[in-house]
Amino acid sequence: MPLKIAVYPGSFDPVTFGHLDIIDRALQIFDGVIVAVARNSEKNALFTVPERQALLSQVLADRPKASVETFDGLLVDYVRQRGAKVIIRGLRAVSDFEFEFQLAQMNRSITKEVETLFMMTSVPYCYLSSSIVKEVSSLNGPVEKLVPPLVKAALDAKFNR
């Protein structure tokens, strides 16, 4: 029986407990999950792609079925190159759905070989986003309940604390 691999793409700038919630739940469904850090020049990132990849690799070190990679170009091309058939997308609220639905439909129009699986974020993380974490951290607010300690330390370093 072939391995069932899923790809969980995102900017992960930075990785939050909400992201980890989706990863952990996806690992219960799939034989492996590739956490794919997008190289997106359109976004104004706090962390570089190598920094995000390193943080994710460290945070996921105790999850052997999870791997961390980077990609650019069309997501569906990357997914097919990696031998996966499923894209994992997390939804926090109904407001996320419209945009995610459009992306899923576009990906489906490009290739029928790849499915998108929407996973609802667990209730404690339904308000959480990397943008909120960066904003709170930039104002020296508490982020301990939002990100792993390693990520908090990296945020503190970015904001010179």
Active-site amino acid positions: 19, 43, 92, 130
Decide: 114 and 87 in contact? Cβ < 8 Å: yes
Percent composition of the chain: helix, strand, coil (DSSP 3-state, to 5): 40, 20, 40
Q: Please, how many CA atoms are within 13 Å of residue 20, restricted to the half-sphere of its CB?
A: 19
